[in-house]
Structures are given as structure tokens and as C-alpha cells.
Structure 1
Amino acid sequence: MVFEAPSWVPKLPFDPPDNIPLYEFIANDKYGRHPVVKSRNPFTCGLTDKTRTYSQIASRREALARAISKRLGWQPNEETEWDKVACMFSFNSIDYSMVASAIHRLNGIVTPANAAYSAQELTHQLKSSGAKVLFLGTAQVQVGLEAAKAAGIPNDKIWLIDLPGYKSPGGFLGIDDLIAEGEKVDKLDELSWTKGQGERQVAFLCYSSGTSGLPKAVMISHRNVIANTMQYVVHESYARKKYGVVTQAALGLLPFSHIYGLVLMAHANTWRGDEVIVLPKYEMPTLLAAIQKHKLEQLYLVPPILISLTRNAEECSKYDLSSVRMVFSGAAPLGEETIADLNAMFPTWRVGQGYGMTETATVAVSSSEHDIMAKSSGSICPATKAKIIGIDGKEVTTYDVPGELWIQTPSAALGYYHNEKATSETFVYDNDGRWVKTGDEAIVTLAPSGNEHVVIVDRIKELIKVKGHQVAPAELEAHLLSHPAVADCAVIQVPDDRAGEVPKAFVVKASAFSNKPEAEVVRAILKHVEEHKAPYKWIKGGIEFIDVIPKSPSGKILRRMLRDKEKAARTKAGPKL
């Protein structure tokens, strides 16, 4: 059974264009965007209030592209895009999107790198992507230079992106230096694209979060981002019209290097005329101050930050957060308990979730403000289809039956770079066309509104099998977080002679409980689970206290690292007698 967007979701007004680069689609009124003259400034720094207009971004893009062309010999209609790969390794900046569009202006490819990467991780991305140049945030210089050296990128092909609060080291040009150069250079030829080129040409080489094995490079075309921009904006347009929202100020905190921030914040929000208030990294005081000062109406966040807000009610009370209307949580499931805590603290906030992945570039399911169900990720986006494949390999034809979620969408990526095996395993074909096998277990259910909603259970490979029962780590994690002794947590499976597998919890102890005996805290947490969950969901693998839960920048728990830690500990301990 194929599921589609509910009847209230508008259709896309036209097919996503396949013959223009992404930057032209975002900036040109003729392609359906909110009129530029009626739009807010697209990017404003939440720390310094420095802002960029559309005309400034366009002129800076052209000048930067000219300077790069002169220095490297890159021409818009010469060489292939794979000869012109640029890596961006930086916190968010009001110039992040502009730098990317300058590379696209030269018909090149941008590979955004996680700003929290180690030198070794960045080196892997530089080498595997074939990056020829590196744009470094001034906060990332030390790691970036070490990786560039290992990858063979010389210093004269490393340029700096200025970040507030970080000094620029000597000896390197910044993008403003290059823009000044480019303003004195002759104009570039216009891009000469044929029909379909935007659909087959890579715009971004984005690396998956690496929850299993090394991160894989996902090839995302210009049309992929164009399509998802349209899908997300159209999906939200119904509720925005209902609540009288024309344009708004939205939060740009989540990394633009991650597909969630790159598509939704850096592109979709600006295409619909919103202003993105950019913050380089998460610090609670700066986030709360930005909400208050810029009267942010929509927050794009991830579960760890929202959990942090619920644990710091006193700090939150010092700021006026009344402007917030909608909170959109993504990248990992947000527990119903956390949503209830947020609703209690901020009764006027609507807290919804979305679902997507790098391979769907990005959102495929999203909560509309007018139709939120706490446990769900919302309804299917326009021009998107979904189906559930049961453990027997057959297509599920009724509601509330779990299975693997498959997605069909025009934003589905081209595949994995230099990895045909992974591409064929993830991007599959049947009589209904091309699908993305997500690897996530989900159900389709009817919300109280009567609309179909998608509920993500957990990663299929991470589900815990207890005497034939499936236990979702995310469900237990959400419940554990409702206990005052738990500041953060993660749940994995561990082997058990009688049950096959049982859950084990890694817990970061809340500061108020730091001096209490561990055995006492463990008993309290276990009791909390046993009073609310079925016996097969009890934490029979024990509780281990650790200092920090490993996570990706988007907030996804890296359970693989905890499984490796557990396996190493069990190997060291040896077999039980």
C-alpha cells in the first residue's frame, strides 16, 4: 500500500526545474519564490546583528567566483564539476550559503564538513571527495590546517570565513579579501546548462552521520535541493496561511554542514522570504538572547537542545520567549515525555517533528502546525510517496503495522559517491519506481484529526530483540530522561543467555545526584522503568554511568560507539564461568 500526502496538503505548483543551478532558483522571483522585495534580509548574525541583503549576497557571490576563477583557472563552462570540488569546514556564518553558491557559479561541487570533526575525520573527507580547496572558519583553523596538510591541499588554496569572536591568523586570505580582488576582475561567462543538467549534476557531496561504519558521501543534485525546498515550503504553507504568517524570523543554529540545516534553514526559509538568525554554535544564553532580541517565531532544534531547555527552566524564565510559535525538531526522535515537559513550560509553543535523511535531501515527513500528534513525525510531504515493508518482505496494507519505511521523492539523492554496492542496497527499484530504503522502522497511523501520520520507531539494526519482542531504544531513552537523576542517556542491546538480548542504559547523571551513591541512583532509575514499562522493556542489562553520550552534531545518538565500548569491555572481562 502506497501512502501519500493527506488531502489538505497543497500540490507543488510546478515541477521542480531541472535546468538551473540552485542559487538561481533561490534568488530569482521567476521560479516561484516569495518576492524578493517583500522578503526579509535572508541572513542576520544573532551575535553581532550584521546582516546580508539579497543584492549583497548576489554581488559577493559573483565577486568571489571571479576571484577563485582567476586564481585557480576554474571557468563556468569548462572542466567537469568533479575538477572543482571545494570543502567548507566552518561553524554557521551569514556568508556560508554565499560561499557555496560561488562554487556553484563556477559549476563546482561543495562538500560541507562537520565543524566538530577531528583532523583525521576531515582528512578522510578531503581525500575521499577529491577537494581541491578548503574554506575554513576562523574557529576551525588548527584542525583544518592539519587535515589540509595530510590531504595535500596547499596553504594558497585555503581561505578563511570570518566568525564572530574568533581572530583570524596571519598569512591567509579571507573571503572579503577575495571579494575585493574579484570586484576588479572581468565578469564570468554565464552558466550554459542543458535540460536535465540540474537533475544529474551534483551540488553537494554530503557525508552521512556515520552511525554505522565510515561516513558515506551522498551525491545531492541541484534539483534535489530545489525539490525539497518546494516540498517543505508548500507543506507548511497551509498552516502559515491559517495562522496569518507571511514572513518570519527563524533560528539558524543547527549546522549548515548537516542536511537538515543546509536545506531547511539555508535554502527553504530564505526561498519563502524568512529571515534566518544565524548562530555559530549552541550556547544556551546566546540562544535565549537571540530568541528574545530577534523575536524568533520558529525554532529548528534537535532533541538534546530541547531536553536541555526543559532542564533549565529557571534560566529560560529570565528571557522573553513569547514570540515563539512553532518548534520543529528533527534528526532524531523526540520523546513524548519531553514534548509534555516543553508544553508545560511553554504552553503557547507548538512542538512538531519532521523526518528525513541525507539520502532524501532532506525532509520527507513533517508536522504541520495545525495537525500535531506528539509521537509522530507528521504527515507525508507533497510529491512524496511512502510504503512500509514488513519483516516478511511484503508490503504492509493496514495502519499500525510496523516495518521498514521506504520513501519515493524527487529529492532522493543520486547515490553514494564511489560506492555502487551501498547505492544499490539503499536506492532500489520496483514496479512503482525508485525508492530509498531508509533502514528505519515505522508505522503509518491515523491521528486524532483523521489524517495519516508516520511514526518512526527506531533504526531497524538498533532494535532490541527480547524473547521475540522488539524494544526501541528511543522509547526507553525518552522515558529515562523523564527521571530527575538522568541528564542524558542512551540504550543499547547486550547479549543475554535466556532472552537473547536485553536493554542496557548508559546514563549521564544529573548534577543534583552527583554525590548520591551510585547503587541508590541505579535502583531509583530501574524502579522508574519497571513502574511504567512492560517487563520485557526493563533495563536488565544494567546501568553504566558515563560523562557524555556520543552524538553527531545533529543530535543523533551514536549507539555504535557505545556498542563497541561494551563489546571491548566484555572481551576484556572474558567469558563467564
Structure 2
Amino acid sequence: MVFYPPPWVPKLPFDPPDSVTVGEFMKSEIYGRRPIAKSRNPFTCGLTGRTYTVEESQNRTELLAKALSKIMGWEPNADSPWDKVIGVFSFNTIDYVPVLHAIHRLSGIATPANVAYSAGELEHQLRSSGAKALFTCVPVLDTALKAAKAVGIPEDKIFIMDVPLHAPKPSFKTVDDLIQIGRSVSDLEPLRWVKGQGARQVAFLCYSSGTSGLPKAVMISHRNVIANTMQYCIFENGGRKKVGVDTQVELGLLPFSHIYGLVVVAHSATWRGDEVIVLPKFELTDFLRAIERFKINHIPVVPPIVIRMLSSKDILKKYDLSSIRLLFTGAAPLGKETSDGLLEIYPTWKIGQGYGLTETSTVVCSTSEDDICPGTSGSLVPGARAKVEYGKPGELLVQSPSVVLGYLDNEKATAEAFVWDEDGRWMRTGDEVIVTKAPSGNEHITIVDRLKELIKVKGHQVAPAELEAHLLTHPLVDDCAVISIPDERDGEVPKAFVVTPASAAGRSDTEIAAEIVKHVQDHKAHYKWLKGGVEFIDAIPKSPSGKILRRLLRDKEKEARRVKGAKI
């Protein structure tokens, strides 16, 4: 069955422009952005308070582009974009987006890299993307230098995004150095793009984590990002107007290297005139101080941060978080139990979540502030269509102007990502969902789990995310992950990896495990019971975007069984 956005969701007012760069779209009011004169400063450092106006930020973009043109020998209308690829391997800074748009100003391609990468992982991305230069930051400089050396990027093509307070200036050019160089360089000629070039030309090479092997390079066009910025903002406008929100202050903690932070926060928020308070990484006290200091209204986060908040109630009480109106999660499902736990502490907050993929350059469906149904990921955004059986779990298929061009140099993976039928070409998400009607009467989408991670117990499907959300309601579970393990009788059974809180000290693992197993038995169908047992570990492996890296736990389990001589 084909699903559409609810009737209350406005349609896109016009086709997303296909002949401009993302940067041009962001700064031009003719495409519908919030008037610059009425916009807040786009990016403010949540640690130092350093900030720039919209005009200053746009001017820095142009100066950076001029400096890169001089250093790299690139001109806006010469050579292929594939000859002008630059990696960005850095924590969030207020100049992160200006750097990306400066690369686009030269008709180049930016490839943002996960700051948690090892040198080998970064080397893979730089090599496969063909990067000719690299922006990085002091905390990960050693990793960046190793990877850059391995792929032949010279040190004079390595630039530093931001220098921490009181830190010595590195021997590499910084963004501020480039700004000064740009002031002495002649103006760049305007980009001369032909019609449709923005729909065909890659803006970002973002790497999808995948379920196995090395990450794949996803080719995201300029029009993909432009389209999703429009889709998400238009969807949100209805709810914002009803609560009287014009512009707001938003948290910029999610990594801008990840599609969630890149599009939903860094582009969508600033396009609608909001201020983004930028934090380089999650530290609980910095996070809480920033909310209190800047009176942040909207905090886009990932489920692990919500879990950390729930386990740190005493610390939360020390800060004034009354400015928060909306907490929004994505990148991984947020269980209803977890959401309810936070609402017990802050009953006036609204908690919503959205769903998207790198391959949809982000949002497919989202929660409106005036149509919240806990546990679901809301309704389709304008311009998106979905296909799945009504009321039955199944793989979600998607059509949207934000669906990407495909995978770089991987025709097989690109072909496998799409399917054709009488309704056209659909992107396969690989996620099992169920569509049901919310109390409002609107159709909401609930993400069950990744198809490849569903546990099959005697033919029954068990979603790890469902069990994880339930386990987190137990006072002796600080964090957790559930995987499948082989079972001779049932085929597969669930096993839980659990991190316990400090309050569990002094109690035996056997006693705690028994309580956790009973907690599931008391509330879940028998095939969902933890027949694979409970194992205690120090930390659950996760990506920076909050996804549980279950494959690492499966590898750990497989090795443990091999050592024990297990046959299956």
C-alpha cells in the first residue's frame, strides 16, 4: 500500500531548485529561507560563546573559498568536481558549515568523516573518495596525519578547523589563517551551472555504516540536501506556529559529519532562522551548562543521551532546563518506556522522533509538535511517499526528492538498493516498520528494527530495540544491547549485554541477571524471553550517531563460542 503525508501537511510550494549549490540555496531568500534580517546568528560556540552573524558567516565562506582556490589551484568553473574533493575530519565547530560551503563554492565535493574513526578507517574514506586535502582539528590531528600520509595528502594541504583555548598554535594553517589569505585574493568568478546540474552533481560523500564490511560512500547531490531542508522545515512549520514559535535556539551537538546533524541541524535549523549552539562532543556537564546559559529551546539528540539523562537525575536537578520545549531524537529508535521515563522528570517537555537514512539525506518521517504519539516516528514529510502493508510489519520502501544518487563505484550495491514496480522506483530502506493510525487519526510510522538484526525465534520475529527499551526501565540497567545467538531447539534466541549503574555495586552478577531475566518474563511473550542469558560489560559499543553496533557484539559472542568449542 502506498502512503502519503497527512492532509494537514502542506505540499512543497515548488520543486526544489536543481541548478544551485547548497550554499547558494542557504543564503538566498528567493527560495523561502527565513529573511536574513530576521534570523538569529546561525552558529554560536557553546563553550566560548564565539559567534558570527549570518552576513559574517557567509563572508567567511567566500574568503575560505578564495583561499582554497589559491592554495589548491582550483577555479569554480574549471575541472571536474571529482578532482576537487576535500575531507573534513573534525569535531563540530562554528566554521564547519562555512568550510563545506566554501568547497561547494569551487564546485567541489566535501566528504565529512566520522571523528571516531581510526587512522585506517579514515584512510579508507580519503582514498576511496579521492580527497586532495583535509580539514581536521587538534584533538584528532595525529590520526588525521597518519591517514593523510598513507593516501599522499601533503602536510601543506592539511588545515586546522579550530584551536582550543590556551592551546599552542599548530604548525598547520588554520581556518583563521585561510580567512586572512582570502582577504588578499581576487574575487572568484560566479559559478556557471547549467539547468539540472545541482540534481546530478555530488555535494557530499557521506559514508553509510552498513551492517558489514567497510562503509560505503553515498553520493548526495546538492538538490537532495536542498529538498530535505525544505521538506523538514515545511513539515515543522505547522507545529511551531501553533505553539507560537518564530525562531528558536537549538542544540548543535550531533556530529555534523553524520547526515542527521548535517541536514536536520546544520542546514534546516539555520535556513529557518534559528541559532545553533555548537558543542564538539557530548559531555554531560557541558551539555547541561549550554542549555542553561543559552536558554536552548530545542534539543535534537540520540537515544543514548536520553538514557544518560535518565541515569543522571541528581545532576540534572542542578541545572535550569526550563527553556526546553522539545526534545527530538533520531538515528535509532526511542522506546516508549524510555520516553515516558523522561516525561516523568520533565512533564512539560514534548518528545518527538524522526526517521531517515544517509541514503534519504535524512528525514523521511517526523513527529509534529501537535501530533505526538510516543514510540512512533511520526508522519511522512511533504514530497515523500512510502510503501508497506497497512497494519503489518514489513520493509519500508521510500520515494522522495531527497533519495540519493547511489553508492560511489559500487553498481551492485546501488542496484540492490532500489526496486521497481507499477508505482515506480522505490528505495529499499532495510528497516522493518509498521504503519498505524495515531489517536489524532493521522498515519504514523513505527520503526521495528533493522531487517538483518531481527531475531527469529521459532519463526517469531523479535526486535532487539523493543527488548532494549524494556530493559532500560529496570533500575539495574544503565545501558544495554540485545543480539541473537544460535539455539539448537529454537533456531535463535535473544541475549542481552548489560551495563549496570553504580548502585549495583556489591550485588552478584547472578542475582542481577536473574532479576533482569524475570523483568522480561513478567512483561513479554515467552518467545521474547532472554533465553540466551545476560552478560555484563563496561560499555555498549555505539556509533557517534547513537546506533548500537550490534555486529561488534555478535563478533564478540561468536569468538567466545568458538573458544568454548561450540558447534553453532
TM tier relative to shorter chain = over 0.9
Between the aligned partners of 1:177 and 1:124, the Cα distance in structure 2 is 29
C-alpha displacement of 1:67: 1.2
Instruction: Using the TM superposition, give the Cα deviation of residue 314 of structure 1 relative to its aligned residue in structure 2, in angstroms.
Output: 1.0
Conserved in 2, the CA contact under 8 Å of 1:415 and 1:427? Answer: no
User: Secondary structure of 2:290's match?
Assistant: helix
User: AA paired with 1:375?
Assistant: G
Distance 1:197 1:539, change over 3 A: same
CA distance in 1, matches of 2:170, 2:346: 47
1:159-180 superposed Cα distances (whole Å, 9 cap, x missing partner): 0011544735532110111110
What letter is aligned with 2:507? K
Kept in 1: contact 2:92–2:278 (CA 8 A): yes
Cα RMSD, aligned residues only: 1.1
User: For 1:486, what is the secondary structure of its paired residue?
Assistant: coil
1:576 Cα deviation (Å)?
6.0
- Greater shift in the superposed pair: 505-514 or 151-160: 505-514
Count of aligned residue pairs for this structure pair: 568
Identify the residue that residue 537 of structure 2 maps to in structure 1: 546
The residue aligned with 1:561 is 552
Match of 2:370 in 1: 370
State the distance in 2 between where 1:288 and 1:185 align.
Answer: 42
Mapped to 2, the partners of 1:202 and 1:429 lie a distance apart of 24
Structure 1 residue ranges without an equivalent (≥5): 389-395
Q: Is 2:52 the partner of 1:61?
A: no
Alpha-carbon distance between aligned partners in 1 of 2:64 and 2:396, rounded to the nearest angstrom: 42
C-alpha distance after superposition, 1:45-78 (max 9, x if no partner):
1111111111111211111111111111100000
> What is aligned with 1:391?
none
Separation (CA, whole Å) in 2 of partners of 1:168 and 1:253:
25
**In the alignment, is the contact (CA less than 8 A) between 1:22 and 1:222 conserved in 2?**
yes
How big is the shift at 1:434? 2.2
Question: Displacement of 1:518 after TM fit?
Answer: 0.8
1:564 is paired with a residue whose SS is: helix
Give the superposition deviation at 1:429: 2.7
Q: How does 1:207-218 map to 2 (within 5 A)?
A: 207-218=207-218
What SS does the corresponding residue of 1:428 show, helix, strand or coil?
A: strand
User: How far apart are 1:229 and its partner, in Å?
Assistant: 0.1
State the TM-score, normalizing by the size of structure 1: 0.97
Alignment deviations for residues 91-112 of structure 1 (CA, whole Å, 9 cap, x no partner): 0000000000000000000000
The reply on whether 1:503 has 2:494 as its aligned counterpart is yes
1:487 aligns with 2:478: yes
Provide the C-alpha distance between the structure 2 equivalents of 1:565 and 1:185, rounded to a whole number of angstroms: 55
Q: Is the 8 A contact 1:139 1:166 kept in 2?
A: no
Q: Deviations over 1:241-266 (max 9, x none)?
A: 11110100000000000000000111
In the alignment, what sits opposite 1:449? 440
Give the letter for the 1:29 counterpart. E
Deviation at 1:486, TM superposition (A): 1.0
Q: Distance in 2 between matches of 1:575 and 1:569?
A: 9
After the TM superposition, list the runs of 4 or more consecutive aligned residues in structure 1 that deviate by more than 6 angstroms: none
- Which residue of the partner structure matches residue 435 of structure 1? 426
Indicate conservation of the 8 Å contact 2:42/2:273, yes or no: yes
| In 2: Cα distance, 1:22 partner to 1:211 partner | 30
- Separation (CA, whole Å) in 2 of partners of 1:455 and 1:139: 38
* 1:58-457 correspondence runs (5 A): 58-165=58-165, 167=167, 169-388=169-388, 396=389, 399-457=390-448
- One-letter amino acid of the counterpart of residue 526, structure 1: V
The one-letter code sitting in structure 2 at the alignment partner of 1:513 is A
How far did 1:575 drift?
3.2
Deviations 1:423-476 (A, max 9, x none): 000133333222210000001100011100001000011101111111000000
Equivalent runs, 1:502-541 vs 2, <5 Å: 502-541=493-532
Q: Please tell me the residue identity of whatever aligns with 1:308.
A: R
Q: Secondary structure at the match of 2:214?
A: coil
Distance in 1 (alpha carbons) for counterparts of 2:96 and 2:219: 19
**Cα separation, 1, equivalents of 2:221 and 2:141:** 29
Query: In the aligned structure 2, how far is the partner of 1:551 from the partner of 1:464?
Result: 20
Distance in 1 (CA, whole Å) between partners of 2:299 and 2:215 is: 28
C-alpha separation between the residues in 1 aligned to 2:168 and 2:260? 28
How far apart are the structure 1 equivalents of 2:383 and 2:310? 36
SS in structure 1 of the partner of residue 23 of structure 2: helix
Contact 1:19–1:194 (8 Å) recurs in 2: yes
Q: Are the counterparts in 2 of residues 362 and 411 from structure 1 also a CA contact under 8 Å?
A: yes
How far apart in 1 are the matches of 2:270 and 2:473?
36
User: Does structure 1 retain, via aligned residues, the 8 Å contact 2:163–2:169?
Assistant: no
Q: What is the rounded CA distance, in whole Å, between the counterparts of 1:514 and 1:533 in structure 2?
A: 28
Amino acid in structure 2 at the alignment position of 1:105:
R
Structure 2 CA distance for aligned equivalents of residues 263 and 515 of structure 1: 46
| CA deviation after TM superposition for structure 1 residue 299, in Å | 0.5
- Code of the aligned partner of 2:456: K
Kept in 2, the 8 Å contact 1:47–1:164? The answer is: no
- Rounded to whole Å, the distance in 2 between the matches of 1:232 and 1:307 is 26
Opposite residue 272 of structure 1, the aligned amino acid is R
SS of equivalent to 2:265 = helix
Post-superposition offset of 1:375: 1.3
What displacement does 1:331 show? Answer: 0.2
The residue type equivalent to 1:238 in the other structure is G
One-letter code aligned to 1:173: K
- Cα distance in 2 for partners of 1:2, 1:168 equals 58
With 507-516 and 81-90 compared, the bigger mean Cα shift is at 507-516
Instruction: Name the residue aligned to 2:34.
Output: 34
Unaligned 5+ segments in structure 2 are none
- The answer to whether the Cα contact below 8 Å between 1:93 and 1:163 also exists between their aligned partners in 2 is no
